[in-house]
Amino acid sequence: MKRNSFILTSAIAVICSCNDAASDKAPTADSSTVKISTENNKYLSQPLVTHIYTADPSAHVFNGRIYIYPSHDTATGTPENDNGDHFNMMDYHILSMDSVGGKVTDHGVALHIKDIPWAGRQLWAPDAAFANNTYYLYFPVKNKQDVFQIGVATSKTPEGPFTAEKEPIKGSYSIDPCVFQDDNGSYYMYFGGIWGGQLQRWNNNKYDSAGKLRQPDQLAILPRLAKLSADMKSFAEPVKEIKILDSAGNLYKEKNNDQRFFEASWMHKYHGKYYFSYSTGDTHNIVYAIGDSPYGPFTYKGILLAPVKGWTNHHSIIEKDGKWYLFYHDIQLSGKTHLRNVKVTQLFYNPDGTIQTIHSQR
Beta bridge partners of 92: 111
CB-CB contact of 151 with 142 (8 Å): no
Is 263 a catalytic site residue? yes
CB-CB contact of 124 with 140 (8 Å): yes
Is 56 a catalytic site residue? yes
C-alpha–C-alpha distance, residues 69 and 56, integer Å? 8
Backbone angles phi, psi at 350, to 5 degrees: -85, 165
Question: Of 73, 127, 263, 330, which one is the catalytic site residue?
Answer: 263
C-alpha–C-alpha distance, residues 308 and 333, integer Å? 13
C-alpha–C-alpha distance, residues 151 and 142, integer Å? 10
C-alpha–C-alpha distance, residues 272 and 30, integer Å? 42
Backbone angles phi, psi at 96, to 5 degrees: -150, 160
CB-CB contact of 317 with 338 (8 Å): no
Strands 187-191 and 224-227: antiparallel
C-alpha–C-alpha distance, residues 220 and 288, integer Å? 16
Question: Of 30, 56, 106, 330, which one is the catalytic site residue?
Answer: 56
Element (H, E) at 62: strand 53-62
Nearest residue to 295 via CA among 232, 356, 236, 219: 236
Residues designated catalytic? 56, 263
